Chain A
């Protein structure tokens, strides 16, 4: 029988056993010491940031119609803002959740036992990804509720519908951002047999994007598009190039999403020409729907990168030999 005709005809659903894998992996995540330590770190720092923000807002109450949004974005030195902290720490949590997902099964020698059960590899890999996303989601939602509760108690006003919608959007965007890092850590856990190598590789990428990207971006942009300053001020070609390079980083996409959603006055994410501002009411907030339109490319970009990275991990995993 020719090989090609037998391929692609496998029978049975690739999702068989997916629910079981998700349930088991999620239970593992939620009870693991690693997860508890990281969540404690995120909760404590994020709550401290939010609390500091609330203290400062209470002194200047009434200045802004969006108290709850300011609570998330206000930066009180030396503490960064709530969103700044999340942008920094979420990748760390996501990497910790997935860096030993696949290679750990090989090292524990459980892989062949699990795959000898009637499931496809698809279910195992997707189950591991979804359980990581679920664990991350559970942590994020509880943190989100805690911060809102804290705001309710200390500010004494409920968030408006507009604010709630924006904060929900922000929650979903944070999850999508976590998904990118989760998929990346999962990919490294497939590629590298040693969990320590996978963790280091993922942390390396995280460091590049969170610390060095803002240095690399202008350098590369200068190489491609020429100097930043022309005869008549900043050059548009340079600015656009720099922005494209900047947006290759999921951190930039996430920061822009958070900015547009939580600062309703944000009207554009990039260079704006004076001519484009004619007739605009500067500083006036956009309706929530318009802010969502503004960040839609960023948001889909985050989800698309998650899918692409997961697909690469999937292909690499399918090609792996079970005995190793």
Chain B
């Protein structure tokens, strides 16, 4: 089944993991298509890493079923692991060995021959920007360099799925940008990416879809726009800049507007049920001086914060 477009490379159905009395993962359903970047978000301890480990066959699910590239990680862990590249959240290398020896070891375990390792090593290292330190010992590497080396390991393996567990934690902003660009380039290779993170803006900038984990469950999933629609009420958010008095009330009184937020002096954010840009422009222009009107991209940050605020309220 491998290789066709729109094919599902990761499918989890009712995946559950129980540690004693604690339900770490509770009936998680998840689907990732070939060449897609899916983000999994959630607070610490919401079951993201456990779900990943179950998908890789590194932890046995208590119940439920998973399929990665058409193989069951429980029955065929070797086949699954041959096709999946994994970057753990806390990555380590053998400090006494060079970058090359470290990657050569895992590549040999992955079943690559000597010639393939030689051929792939240089290009993989160049792609992550470590081209000139391949012979250096990993003990001299910074945290960011280790993270890149982990990505180079995945590039060498050429997997059909890459699973990255919080890859950008503790990276500086510049390195983070570069790292995200590398993740996008994985997608261009046709690799599906499952990215776990709690850096929401980053997830938003690279992911096609997101799944929001909460207490071991997938609370929400879909594109960011869909989630915004579900959580924030209206799917359309419009930023209006206008000089004048009573603009806020005017905007709020327009039919179809859910909520108006003042962003600053003369700047408003309007949450609407549909695209009301023309209508809003007409109304504001009639009463005040309109200087700008545009879609505000729904921010995942907002969705996330609102969702967990609602969860907290519901719990109280």
CB within 8 Å for A10 and B94 given contacts A118-B111, A323-B49: no
A153 touches B (CB below 8 Å): no
Given the contacts A20-B109, A113-B153, A114-B109, A321 and B59 also touching, CB distance less than 8 Å: yes
From B56, B82, B84, B92, name the one whose CB has the most chain A CB atoms within 10 angstroms: B92
Cβ contact of A117, chosen from B72, B96, B106, cutoff 8 A: B106
**Contact status of A118 and B81, CB under 8 A, knowing A113-B106, A321-B59, A322-B53:** yes
Interface of chain A, main secondary structure: loop
The CA of A262 and the CA of B226, in the complex, are separated in Å by 82
Q: Which of A1-9, A234-242, A283-291 contacts B (4 or more CB under 8 A)?
A: A1-9
The smallest beta-carbon distance between B149 and chain A, in angstroms, is: 10
B163's nearest neighbour on chain A, judged by CB, is: A116
Whether B77 contacts A110 by the Cβ 8 Å rule is: no
Pick the contact of B86 from A3, A24, A113 — CB < 8 Å? Answer: A113
User: Range of interface residues on chain A?
Assistant: 20 to 34
Instruction: State the CA gap A290–B114 with chains docked (Å).
Output: 50
Q: How far is the CA of A20 from the CA of B58 in the complex (A)?
A: 20
Within 8 A of B (CB), among A108-143: 108-110, 112-120
Q: Is the CB of A108 within 8 A of B109?
A: no
Interface pick from A11-19, A189-197, A201-209: A11-19
Contact at A116–B92, with CB atoms within 8 Å?
no
A21 within 8 Å of B (CB atoms): yes
Query: Closest CB-CB distance, B93 to chain A, in whole Å?
Result: 6
Chain B hits for A113, CB < 8 A: 86, 88, 91-93, 106, 150, 153
A10 partner residues in chain B, CB cutoff 8 A:
74-77
Q: Does B289 contact A (CB under 8 A)?
A: no
Assess whether A112 is in contact with B88, with CB atoms less than 8 Å apart. Answer: yes
A105, closest chain B residue (CB): B92
A-B pairs with the 7 shortest C-beta distances? Answer: A109-B92, A12-B78, A117-B109, A116-B86, A118-B81, A112-B88, A118-B78
Pairs across A and B, CB under 8 Å, 14 listed: A3-B63, A6-B74, A10-B76, A12-B78, A17-B108, A17-B109, A28-B96, A109-B88, A109-B92, A114-B109, A116-B88, A117-B81, A118-B79, A322-B58
Interface residues of B (CB under 8 A from A): 49-50, 53, 56, 58-59, 63, 65, 72, 74-79, 81-82, 84-86, 88, 90-96, 105-106, 108-111, 150, 153
